[in-house]
Structure 1
Amino acid sequence: MIRAADPSDAVAIARIYNQAITDGSYATCDLKPVSAESRIDWLKQHQPPYPVFVWENQLGEVIGYSALSPFSIRPSYRSIAEVAIYVDQAQRRGIVGGRLLIHLMKTAKKLGFRALVALILEKNQSSFEAAIGLGFQRVAYLPEVAKMKQQWEGVIWVQKDLTASSQ
């Protein structure tokens, strides 16, 4: 079940995010684990129209989350949001990430966003393929911009147009 996140989800959100940092999945450019307290602050920063959602399984455990964030501080970009999706490592390769992204796309359109963007590390092929499969298009490639594990990594930017009538 997908629902709006609240501060009580901060521990699970931090756990899932920290998996993405430490498991070698190349799902984030962060290098150090985050605390649950920092995720409470992060949740407070996600004020309308930038929601955070969690996927709760039948046991009531949070196994994934998604968020819309501002793309830029410049006011002319307010119609664009950046997406983030993170899934518990035991649930990857299932439907959780895709369903969270579909839910985020529908929500963003209802909120009046014209486009969504995501920055995906080049080595994270599964996330790239999932985004492309849901209608995102590759719009930019930044070679060797993120230094991780003593190596420079490329980042792919993808974009989803939410103004098309087929949305």
Structure 2
Amino acid sequence: MHLRAVPPPEAPFEYSLREVKAADLPYIREIYNYYVANSTVTFDEDAMTLAEWRDKFAYLDRLGMPFIVAESPAGQILGYALVSPWKQKKAYRFTVENSIYLGAASTGKGLGRVLLAELITRSKEAGLKEIIAVIADQGADASIKLHHDFGFEEIGRMGKVGFKFERWLGTVLMQKSLK
């Protein structure tokens, strides 16, 4: 008789969602800067500093824009989602662009879906009317599918508007009405 060791069951993926706090910003910076350095899902080429994140946090807070984190039971920030003004002109004040980023260990577990659902709910509660997603046209198929699943419609594409990692990149624009 040959006995084979059975691996222990994987612990359930648990988290809670809450508003971001200033103390979360170093972890948010770390998550975001991973994507800056290793992917084309953001067109940023330079890591964001903690001071830049503090400024962004204060700005979004002043505007009453939703900015949430997913936190593990142990207090680890697993990912975040936010909306920010689409454009600076006052007439655009009810239209926002969304951003969702997950820590590497949190991808593929449905967390992006949960964060987007909560972001949409909080955006409606904040009186916002339109959400725009600007998604890289290469390497972001999961993001395009996620937004489509939530009722975002493709409204356009822009080709070769970014240059990162020695190649040209475009964007897919998607929009959802919150009415």
Q: Is TM-score (shorter-chain normalized) higher than 0.5?
A: yes
Q: Matches of 2:64 and 2:25 in 1, distance apart?
A: 20
List aligned pairs for 1:18-167, cutoff 5 A.
18-24=33-39, 26-46=40-60, 47-123=62-138, 124-163=140-179
Whether contact under 8 Å (1:13, 1:36) holds in the other structure is no
Which of 11, 14, 28 is the matching residue for 2:29? 14
| Amino acid paired to 1:84 | S
| Amino acid paired to 2:109 | G
Find runs of 4+ consecutive structure 1 residues off by over 4 angstroms.
none
**Deviations 1:123-164 (Å, cap 9, x if unpaired)?**
11111111111111110100110111111101011101111x
**Deviations 1:89-129 (Å, cap 9, x if unpaired)?**
11111111111110010111111111100100011111111
Q: CA deviation at 1:49?
A: 2.4
TM-score by length of structure 1 reads 0.93
| Amino acid paired to 2:83 | L
Corresponding pairs, count: 162
Q: CA deviation at 1:28?
A: 0.6
| Amino acid paired to 1:139 | I
Q: Which runs of 5+ in 2 are unaligned?
A: 1-15
Percent of counterpart pairs with the same letter? Answer: 25
Question: Alignment partner of 2:51: what SS?
Answer: helix
Q: CA deviation at 1:58?
A: 1.2
| Amino acid paired to 2:178 | L
Q: Matches of 1:87 and 1:150 in 2, distance apart?
A: 25
Q: CA RMSD in A?
A: 1.1
Deviates more, 1:124-133 or 1:30-39: 30-39
Whether contact under 8 Å (1:10, 1:37) holds in the other structure is no
